[in-house]
């Protein structure tokens, strides 16, 4: 089959239509007359899946023949979102499917909405894994994603009386047409038990682990197709099952619950995603999840390797395993265990293979997010791994001593065991020592890694740390979410611009000077804003002025991301609009969305504050509609897809030094929103490429934050007294202006801010206020605003995840890749 859809469009529509009807009848079991939305969705998904499966088979055969090196991407999270439009687009059959459905009396835009989001992730880290899967397939990088098939993804957020409630998410209730269950691909995963030494006549004694309990992993495969039918890779997610579904002896003895106790215990491992973002989950079940999916994945890839080569000594030449954050870092010990205990490879050879194969991406420097496990827990749950970790540690320290390094403080700091706060295993250090490459996710974050968390390890291994700035897939975050703008770009840049937007988008720069083009660009935004206005009306019964600045902060709720700073600005702006009606205020809509970890009280209180502020301001006639505040519930990929193309202003205002990269900053700017932000994470590279004149950069730099922290200047009373606007906003919140039903609600929050402002909200407030006034001033000059907006889109090409993946492929994995090619026009 060729890479292009059939040359005869009408024949292709008819064929697709036939296939939908066949699926509806034989797979869904419905006829067109009694099919509901979900039935149609399933039929179309299955019809598309057939085409993907054809390419999948071809891809696998090509790879098998070439014996190409494989990439394994291990991630506890894959925030895939919906897949229907993604798959139809990448197959190149979106219009064909739309037409086929139309002829059946069904609207594709209706049925795309019934697909549940695959929300198997918390936020940026999981979404990065999803963008990477798509880019790897597009670039023909031979890759497998490995993770957990959570029965329940990230909780569904409901806002009740302004408070967040968490409800169970049920994405699998109607089945999942994209996946293939593989009951035959199953591995045994052990926990607990004991280790014994077994003497052997040939060679040294062997360690034998006898687990106390064992479960089974079952594979579920989802094919991931690249853009324009490039390669098809596999996302393999594991479900946990008991060895036996029912203990018949217990059942027959009348113990009906006890008979299924193992099943419940086993299935709890893949039951639910931990809803903590950038904070450490810390419970035993979390460690079980990590080990479960790592062990299943490593057993699986070693089996594949042995089937292919019959030998493990060439593992680093044929496999590259990327650890997405420290969550899979137990892989270092598990790979050693499999090589040494199961495959009987000598320790030092096994260590060379392990380090040669693994590489590790760090995603956060927040101390509360650096994973570590109590030694006692590890000894109980993974006794053999604990031994292996001790051995790795001891051999490492021996090797340093052999190099004449005796500095006690240094040896302590690079140790795998933390001795200070009860003995704990430092998973970050384990990942570092066991990997040939350690990368940060933006230039600033990488530099900070070198000087903070991994300072001493970096001194010992100065070659290992490198930077790979995150990216996003433009297929989803521009072509799919913003068809209006995509159409305009095609009209202006020619058919082939989408093939290599990394370079072609720059072609927009001269168009920024053309009034006609700017007008069309603004009209695209307006259309997206009207769609968002409709959604807000439907969901919240709040009417918005689509001519106002849409000022958007959507992301996980976290103190370091500083939604509170934005809320303080909202209140100060509200007060200013009431106090100075003569000022020519630019009308604004403040849009918030995001989930808070269920156990994160402060973040949940911030959500309540946003809703309290929203209710108060929206019902105050004295602001004359100049300001509206909206908190949209249940932020997820699908909601992001509606909000981002409608944004005029993107809020990226984290305390400098704390956001590792950010990726929503890229999605917004690509769609032409202007950024108000700190010099943090990838904002730094954005300001270099877009030009800091074309963004609203404000606030302390990471260095300034660090000096202030070191000087202990976190008491803010004098700062607040020195800023009339900040003082006014703080006083209003503290006095209960937004919470008349409970005037004390925010007293602790505000006192905390004044007493110990860890995230420097107050210290950055005045700079933020001033930057916001620059926003207003530019909004009043539409020519300049839209010129700037066009330049933002034009200069975002570098942030494509294709660029990021090409860097991983050449610098870390050492695998070939091919960038997308223009479609061949059918001959004649």
Ligand X SMILES: *Cc1c(COP(=O)(O)O)cnc(C)c1O
Q: Which residues contact ligand X (rule: CB under 6 A)?
A: 123-124, 127, 555-556, 636-637, 640, 662-664, 667
**CA 103 – CA 768 distance, rounded (Å):** 53
In the complex with ligand X, the residue whose CB is nearer, 47 or 639, is: 639
Least CB distance to ligand X at residue 130 (A): 9
Of 497 and 560, which CB lies nearer to ligand X in the complex structure?
560
561 tagged catalytic: yes
151 Rama sector, left if φ>0, alpha if ψ -120 to 50, beta otherwise: alpha
Return the number of the residue (458 or 556) whose C-beta is nearest ligand X: 556
In the residue annotation, 667 being an active-site residue is answered as yes
Task: Annotate 700-750 with DSSP letters as a single string.
Answer: --HHHHHHHHHTT----HHHHHT-HHHHHHHHHHHHTTT-TTSTTTTHHHH
Enumerate the β-bridge partners of residue 128.
none
Question: Given the structure tokens 């530099």, which residue do they identify?
Answer: 447
Of the residues 23, 363, 396, 464, which is catalytic?
363
Gyration radius of the chain over CA positions? 27
Complex with ligand X: residue 124 or 728, whichever CB lies closer: 124
CB of 676: closest distance to ligand X in angstroms?
A: 13
DSSP 582: T
Q: What gap in Å lies between CA 534 and CA 540, rounded to an integer?
A: 10
Q: CA 209, 212, 218 angle in degrees (round to 5)?
A: 90
Phi first, then psi, for residue 275 (nearest 5°) are: -90, 35
Distance CA 279, CA 363 (A): 11
**Nearest residue (CB) to ligand X, 563 versus 663:** 663
Classify residue 420 by its DSSP letter: B
Measured from the CB atom, the residue of 449 and 682 that comes closer to ligand X is: 682
Chain-centroid distance of CA 799 in Å reads 15
Q: Which is nearer to ligand X, 289 or 664 (CB)?
A: 664
List the catalytic residue out of 149, 529, 667, 745: 667
Q: Can you read off the two tokens belonging to residue 711?
A: 């000087």
Six token digits for residue 657: 């030094």
- 87 versus 663: smaller Cβ distance to ligand X: 663
- Residues 641/668, Cβ–Cβ less than 8 Å: no
Active site residue 556: yes
Phi, psi torsion values for 164, nearest 5 degrees: -75, 130
The nearer residue to ligand X, 121 or 797, going by C-beta atoms, is 121
Closer to ligand X by CB, 322 or 636: give it.
Answer: 636
| DSSP 3-state of 120 | strand
Catalytic residue among 469, 473, 663, 793: 663
- Collapsing DSSP to helix, strand or coil, 497 comes out as helix
Taking a C-beta distance cutoff of 8 angstroms, is the pair 175, 165 a contact?
A: no
Q: b/e map of 786-813 (b: 16 or more CB within 10 Å)?
A: bbbbbbbbbbbbbbbbbbbbbbbbeebb
Around Cβ 141, how many Cβ atoms within 10 Å? Answer: 28
CB of 683 to ligand X, least distance (A): 10
DSSP line for 776-808? HHHHT-HHHHHHHHHHHHHT-GGGBHHHHHHHI
Say if residues 679 and 687 touch (Cβ distance below 8 Å).
yes
Residue with tokens 């909004």: 779
Q: Least distance (Å) from ligand X to the CB of residue 568?
A: 19
DSSP labels, 207-222: EEEE-SEEEEEEEEEE
- Active-site residue, from 144, 556, 595, 787: 556
Q: How far is the CB of 662 from ligand X (least distance, A)?
A: 4
In angstroms, give the least distance from the CB of 796 to ligand X.
14
Task: Report the nearest approach of ligand X to the CB of residue 482 (Å).
Answer: 14
Q: How far is the CB of 645 from ligand X (least distance, A)?
A: 13
Cα–Cα distance, 397 to 122 (Å, whole number): 37
Q: Give yes or no: 555 in active site.
A: yes
How many degrees, rounded to 5, is the angle at CA 450 between CA 446 and CA 451? 120
**CB 366 to ligand X: min, Å:** 13
663 a catalytic residue: yes
Taking the least distance from each CB to ligand X, the nearer of 236 and 561 is: 561
* Strand ranges (E), 131-212: 143-148, 156-160, 163-167, 180-191, 194-198, 206-210
Minimum CB separation of residue 88 from ligand X in Å reads: 20
Minimum distance from CB of 663 to ligand X (Å)? 4
Among 148, 153, 122, smallest CA distance to 363 is for: 122
Neighbours of 294 (CB within 10 A): 26
- Yes or no: say if 240 and 292 are a contact pair by the CB < 8 Å rule: yes
Residues catalogued as catalytic: 363, 555-556, 561, 663, 667
């Amino acid at each position: 089959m060729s890479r292009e859809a059939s040359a005869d469009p009408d024949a292709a529509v008819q064929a697709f239509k036939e296939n939908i009807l066949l699926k509806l009848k034989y797979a869904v079991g419905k006829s067109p007359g009694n099919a509901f939305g979900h039935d149609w969705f399933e039929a179309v998904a299955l019809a598309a899946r057939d085409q993907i499966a054809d390419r999948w088979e071809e891809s696998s055969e090509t790879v098998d023949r070439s014996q190409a090196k494989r990439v394994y991407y291990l991630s506890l999270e894959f925030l895939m979102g919906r897949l229907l439009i993604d798959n139809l687009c990448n197959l190149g059959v979106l219009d064909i499917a739309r037409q086929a459905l139309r002829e059946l009396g069904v609207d594709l835009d209706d049925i795309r909405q019934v697909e549940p989001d695959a929300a198997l992730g918390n936020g940026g880290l999981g979404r990065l894994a999803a963008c990477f899967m798509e880019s790897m397939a597009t670039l023909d990088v031979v890759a497998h994603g490995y993770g957990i098939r959570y029965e329940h993804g990230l909780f569904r957020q409901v806002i009740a009386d302004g408070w967040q409630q968490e409800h169970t998410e049920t994405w699998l209730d109607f089945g999942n047409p994209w996946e293939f269950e593989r009951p035959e691909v199953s591995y045994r995963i052990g926990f607990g038990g004991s280790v014994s030494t077994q003497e052997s006549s040939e060679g040294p004694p062997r360690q034998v682990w006898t687990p106390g309990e064992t479960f089974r992993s079952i594979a579920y495969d989802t094919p991931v197709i690249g853009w324009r039918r490039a390669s098809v890779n596999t996302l393999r997610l594991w479900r946990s099952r008991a060895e036996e579904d029912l203990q018949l002896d217990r059942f027959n003895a009348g113990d009906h619950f006890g008979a299924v106790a193992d099943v419940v215990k086993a299935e709890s491992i893949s039951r639910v995603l931990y809803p903590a973002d950038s904070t450490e989950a810390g419970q035993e079940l979390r460690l079980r999840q990590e080990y479960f999916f790592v062990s299943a994945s490593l057993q699986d890839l070693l089996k594949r390797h042995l089937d292919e080569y019959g030998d493990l000594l060439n593992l680093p030449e044929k496999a590259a395993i990327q650890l997405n954050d420290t969550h899979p870092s137990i892989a270092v010990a598990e790979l050693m265990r499999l090589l040494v205990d199961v495959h009987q490879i000598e320790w030092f050879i096994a260590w060379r293979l392990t380090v040669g194969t693994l590489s590790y991406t760090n995603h956060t420097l927040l101390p509360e997010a650096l994973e570590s496990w109590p030694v006692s827990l590890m000894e109980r749950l993974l006794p053999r791994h604990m031994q292996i970790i001790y051995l790795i540690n001891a051999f490492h320290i021996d090797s340093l001593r052999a190099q004449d390094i005796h500095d006690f403080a240094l040896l302590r700091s690079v140790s795998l065991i933390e001795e200070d706060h009860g003995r704990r295993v430092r998973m970050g250090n384990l990942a570092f020592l066991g990997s040939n490459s350690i990368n940060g996710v933006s230039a600033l974050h990488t530099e900070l890694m070198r000087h903070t968390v991994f300072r001493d390890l970096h001194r010992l291994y100065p070659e290992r740390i490198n930077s790979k700035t995150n990216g996003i897939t433009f297929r989803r975050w521009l072509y799919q979410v913003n068809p209006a703008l995509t159409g305009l770009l095609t009209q202006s840049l020619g058919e082939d611009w989408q093939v290599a937007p990394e370079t072609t988008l720059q072609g927009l720069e001269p168009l920024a000077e053309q009034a006609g083009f700017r007008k069309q660009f603004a009209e695209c935004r307006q259309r997206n804003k009207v769609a968002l206005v409709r959604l807000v009306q439907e969901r919240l019964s709040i009417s918005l002025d689509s001519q106002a600045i849409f000022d958007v902060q959507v992301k996980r709720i976290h103190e370091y991301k500083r939604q509170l700073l934005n809320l303080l600005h909202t209140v100060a702006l509200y007060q200013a609009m009431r106090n100075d009606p003569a000022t020519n205020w630019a009308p604004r809509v403040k849009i918030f969305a995001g989930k808070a970890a269920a156990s994160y009280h402060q973040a949940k209180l911030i959500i309540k504050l946003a809703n309290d502020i929203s209710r108060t301001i929206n019902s105050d006639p004295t602001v004359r509609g100049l300001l509206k505040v909206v908190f949209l519930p249940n932020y997820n990929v699908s909601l992001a897809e509606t909000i981002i193309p409608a944004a005029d202003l993107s809020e990226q205002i984290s305390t400098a030094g704390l956001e590792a990269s950010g990726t929503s900053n890229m999605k917004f700017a690509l769609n032409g929103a202007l950024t108000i932000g700190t010099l943090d994470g990838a904002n730094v590279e954005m300001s270099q490429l877009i030009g800091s004149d074309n963004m609203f950069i404000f606030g302390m730099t990471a260095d300034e934050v660090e000096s202030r922290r070191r000087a202990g200047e976190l008491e803010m009373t004098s700062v607040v007294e020195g800023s009339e606007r900040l003082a006014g906003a703080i006083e209003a919140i503290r006095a209960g202006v937004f919470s008349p039903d409970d005037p004390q609600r925010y007293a602790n929050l505000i006192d905390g801010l004044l007493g110990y402002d860890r995230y420097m909200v107050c210290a950055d407030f005045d700079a933020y206020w001033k930057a916001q006034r620059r926003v207003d001033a530019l909004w009043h000059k539409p020519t300049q605003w839209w010129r700037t907006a066009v330049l933002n889109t034009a200069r975002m090409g570098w942030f494509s995840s294709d660029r990021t993946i090409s860097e991983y492929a050449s610098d870390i994995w050492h695998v070939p890749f091919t960038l997308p090619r223009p479609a061949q026009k059918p001959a004649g």
